[in-house]
Amino acid sequence: MAITNKEINLSQLDQELGGKGLIADLNNPSKKLILPSQNSDVTEAQLETAIAAHVAQSIEPSVADKLASVGLSVDDLKAALGL
């Protein structure tokens, strides 16, 4: 079990630990509880080290990412709007 007040992207953190499974209660910004899932073999030391090194990437995709998901670019949007 690890408690942190860092910004955490749980999916990203799990991937940084090899995708072994994590669960968390992130509702309290000053006391986020992060645990290995039931069948995970992540140790407490590994979890603490990963959290210390973790730099959360934005969970929300950018406008460019959203446009790219439908095959468009920012330039395509500008052209369509006459900008």
Note whether 42 and 1 are within 8 A (CB). Answer: no
Instruction: Give the angle 47-49-30 at the CA atoms, nearest 5°.
Output: 75
pLDDT tens readout for residues 33-77: 999 999 999 999 999 999 999 999 877 778 888 888 899 898 988
pLDDT tens readout for residues 15-37: 999 999 999 998 888 999 999 99
pLDDT for 60 equals: 76
Q: How do the domains of the chain map onto residue ranges?
A: 2-81
Distance CA 78, CA 38 (A): 48
Task: Kindly state the average pLDDT of the residues 7-13.
Answer: 92
pLDDT for 29 equals: 85
Structure tokens at 47: 């979890």
Structure tokens at 70: 């439908």
pLDDT for 43 equals: 94
